[in-house]
Chain A
Amino acid sequence: MKSTRRDLFKFTGGAAVGALLSPAPWRLVTDTALWSETWPGVPRPATGEIGAKYTNCSMCPAGCAVRARTVNGQPVALMGVAEHPFSHGVLCPFGLAGHHLPYHPARLKQGPVAEAKAAAMEALAKCGKGERAAVLDLRPGRTASWTYRRALAQWTDAAYLAPPRTLGGVVAVNLAAAKIVLSFGAPVLDGWGTLGNAIAARDGFRLIQAETVESRTAVLADVWLPIRPGSEVALARAIAGLLRKEDNSSLQAAASQTGLREEQIVEVARELAANRPALVLDSQERSEILALNQLTGSLGRAIVTRRETPVPDSWKKAAAETELDAVADRSIRLLLIDESVPGAYVPWSAIERKLVADNPVVVAFAWSRGGYGRHARFVLPTAVYPEGVDDIPPAVDSPLAMFRLSNALVPAPAGVVNPAEFVAGLAGISASDALRERSDAIAKTGRGTLFTYADAKSARAKDVKPDDFWKALNQGACWMDDPPPRTEIPKLASRRATAPAAADDLPFAVVMADAYALPCSPILSKVYQESNLRLAANRAALHPSAAGDCGVKDGCRAMIETRSGKLEVLVTLDAAVPKGVVQLAAAASTLELFASSARAKVVRI
């Protein structure tokens, strides 16, 4: 029997049909996908003994208590500590996936440490008259912050810089005391303070959210006041006028600026007057808005003076905290920036004009190149949560001082740098035992209570020996101060408003979606961003009709242009964003672009 070419095709066709009717190809597809999960480089938790470790999350200033389920010592799941008296067992989605952060593809593991040290020493030696070294600390109040201040005290005219803040330092918020919270864009229920504390206190206060975009906090608020962008101060002035029972001249203007009805503003003022203390918060901590607290009975009750967490007496000869604006332009020769832990972001344009024109040395301590690393001459890698050991200052909503450690649950890569020890080394002081020294100083005061996570027990600090106090902190514990013996009425710092330049010819007002934070778990940020639950740094949200006017569609590329620059983004259509507004994520790139201009235009690419 002679086989023809046609027979071969028929045989092949039959074989193809037979293969498709068998399980082989379908299983191979599945198996290949599963096989790819075991490729080298894919993190795999160890198998072995199941245990638990305790720490505090340092990914944001809240510092929530964490119980890590471990397998063979490797954390595989994070959860809250239910009995914790302040965080109440709550962790945000970022905190729940915090143990993924060491595997973030953008993280740095090696850096030019020796070169950076040599350049820093040379810059210190070259500092001429009117020139200085400075440290910019994005999260002040830590023991590392004290190390910077002690180191800077060794150098002439050196400056310790921290982001300007009215609340969160010695002045804190007591949510539990507030009967009403009027929030001007502060994400009270979405990352502003300690999530567990806000949820625990939520039943006790009525929340009025004045915000342009219907944020997650606005959705959960009792009342959402959809005000026009940039009209927050006008609304605050009108409410102040009503509370002072002055003439209502500003009411009509405020109604016109905010887009609210006059009766709505009057009703808010009436509620604030009738339910004292009424707490007023502002996402940008503008003095004119926070000053409303003087009229609503908050000072001393919902806004309180917080004692500082004790430090050893020998540390108190340290450099004072200085705001960047107070430093002369073109005067910083050596700038060391600690962005190893997230904090408020200071736009680079504000920093850059303070640097000497002639070859300044900028060293950024960071875990990725996404922030100041784009501008610094040297970027030195740091440990990330939960690799490093660091303390977390009390959160903005903690009326009492606190001391808690973020412990190392996994070892840090060999090439990372401890920023505090690097700076201490430049100044010739020792900082390796700083956390232990501070722990001993707290234990020595005998003040406060030590809450240990493993057994959920509280003990008076005066009943705990310093060695045991330190041991407990390293195994997961939190020290909380006693209430101060007398109530001090806090003074709210008056800050000069730095309103972005008006550019009324540009059609869109810019609104930031979230508070600035460093990225977290690569898996979680992927989920958030792909689902648009949170805007990614390269996305802009527009109202569908506004997008239509600009000729852009969902998912297409566009350029956001301002007076100071432009940024390429992907467009997301969102009917919750008002017309005339473009919403962006608060990332380093966007904050720098919109520091000097709050208006933009959208151009299709």
Chain B
Amino acid sequence: MRGVFPFAAGLAIMLAAGWVGFPYAIYKSRPQPVDFSHKVHADKAGAKCEDCHAFRADGTFAGEPTLDKCSSCHAAAMGSTLAEKNFIDRYVTPGREPEWESYARQPDNVFFSHIAHVKRAKIACETCHGNHGSSDRPRAYQEDRLSGYSRDIWQVGERAKTTRASMTMNGCVDCHRQQGLSQSCLDCHK
């Protein structure tokens, strides 16, 4: 029994380090600038994803809404929450854009067309973004220290609960293969 102990100790230590310590070490966390609740906006204001994350007239995806969009409702406080008060004081009143951290941003060498997937292929936002749209407060943004990618690209955490595919290249290729669609390099790497 004693003979097995050093091997088991080494194994246990590295398993713990790899599965628990490594994720803490490899990712650095940054909080989102605003304590934004998707849930409140969806439930109380009846907002849908595309109300704020809209397509431009030329079909390109606008991504995170700009301050103009938020200010159209929140020029003055609509409720009594501290989060809303902080948002107005820090951003709306001085006219400063919140520096949102995008959980799902793809690297620069990837061309991804939202309109082709949302409007044409009728893929629901939750398919890739998980239950982010019903979250009550934003998670901290976690960035891989080496690659600079968002942790969400790897299909972990909250998003994994409802996601059928990761946002890695393999995820894209798997889905295209299942649907019998083109998998050319130049589709995404233009």
Contact = CB atoms under 8 A, between A and B. Distances in A.
B79 interface: no
Contacts of A37: 107, 109
Given A19-B18, A35-B147, A14 B26 contact: no
B10 A11 contact: yes
Interface centre among B13, B108, B144, B148 (most CB of A within 10 A): B108
Contact of A50 (B3, B10, B60, B144): B60
A112 to B, nearest CB: 36
Contact of A44 (B7, B22, B108): B108
B18 A22 contact: yes
Contact of A32 (B9, B12, B146): B146
Interface string A29-54: 01110110110000011010010000
Interface in B6-30: 6-15, 17-19, 22, 26
A96 interface: yes
A22 B190 CA distance: 35
B7 A24 contact: no
Contacts of A24: 17-18, 22
A38 B6 contact: no
A24 B20 CA distance: 10
Interface residues of A, number: 35
B108 A18 contact: no
B186 interface: yes
Contacts of A7: 6
A25 B186 CA distance: 30
A34 to B, nearest CB: 3
Interface string B135-150: 0000000001011110
Interface string A72-111: 0000110000000000000000001000000000000000
A17 interface: yes
Contacts of A34: 107, 144, 146-149
Contacts of B111: 76-77
Given A10-B3, A10-B7, A96-B186, A22 B15 contact: yes
B22 A23 contact: yes
A35 B26 CA distance: 13
Interface centre among B19, B26, B147 (most CB of A within 10 A): B147
Interface string A6-28: 01101111111111011111011
A10 B149 contact: no
B2 to A, nearest CB: 8
Nearest to B154: A27
Contacts of A77: 111, 190
Interface residues of B, number: 29
A183 B6 CA distance: 78
Interface centre among B7, B13, B26 (most CB of A within 10 A): B7
B7 A13 contact: yes
A17 B18 contact: no
A17 to B, nearest CB: 6
A21 B6 CA distance: 17
Contacts of A19: 14, 17-18
Interface string A514-546: 000000000000000000000000000000000
Interface SS of chain B? helix
A54 to B, nearest CB: 15
Contacts of B186: 96
Interface centre among A8, A19, A28 (most CB of B within 10 A): A19
A25 B12 CA distance: 16
Contacts of B109: 37
Nearest to B105: A47
A11 to B, nearest CB: 4
Contacts of A38: 147-148
Nearest to A14: B10
Given A34-B149, A77-B111, A23 B19 contact: yes
A14 B146 contact: no
Contacts of B19: 22-23
A69 B18 CA distance: 43
B161 to A, nearest CB: 19
Given A17-B11, A19-B14, A31-B26, A8 B6 contact: yes
B22 A27 contact: yes
B147 A15 contact: no
Contacts of A11: 6-7, 9-10
Interface in B37-74: 58, 60
Contacts of A14: 6-12, 14
B23 to A, nearest CB: 8
Contacts of A76: 111, 190
Contacts of A3: 6
Given A31-B144, A45-B108, A47-B108, A18 B6 contact: no
B13 A22 contact: no
A154 B22 CA distance: 74
A22 B17 contact: yes
Contacts of A18: 10-15, 17-18
B71 to A, nearest CB: 21
A184 B105 CA distance: 52
Contact of A15 (B3, B13, B22, B148): B13
Contacts of B18: 18-19, 21-25
A537 to B, nearest CB: 24
Contacts of A21: 11, 15, 18
Contacts of B11: 14-15, 17-18, 21
A13 B13 CA distance: 12
A336 B83 CA distance: 70
Contact of B14 (A15, A47, A50, A69): A15
Contacts of A35: 146-148
A27 B7 contact: no
Interface centre among B6, B9, B58, B144 (most CB of A within 10 A): B6
A426 B188 CA distance: 48
A13 B8 CA distance: 9
Contacts of A50: 58, 60
Interface string B98-129: 00000000011101000000000000000000
Given A10-B3, A22-B19, A77-B111, A31 B147 contact: yes
Contact of A10 (B10, B22, B58, B147): B10
Contacts of B6: 3, 7-8, 10-11, 14
Contacts of B26: 27, 31
Contacts of B60: 50
A37 B108 CA distance: 10
Contacts of A8: 6
9 residue pairs, one from A and one from B, having the closest CB atoms = A22-B18, A18-B14, A14-B10, A34-B147, A15-B10, A14-B7, A31-B146, A77-B190, A14-B11
Given A16-B14, A35-B146, 7 more contacts: A10-B6, A10-B10, A18-B12, A24-B17, A24-B22, A25-B18, A34-B147
22 contacts: A3-B6, A7-B6, A8-B6, A10-B3, A10-B7, A10-B10, A14-B7, A14-B8, A15-B11, A18-B14, A18-B17, A21-B11, A22-B18, A22-B19, A25-B18, A27-B22, A28-B146, A31-B26, A32-B146, A34-B144, A35-B146, A37-B109
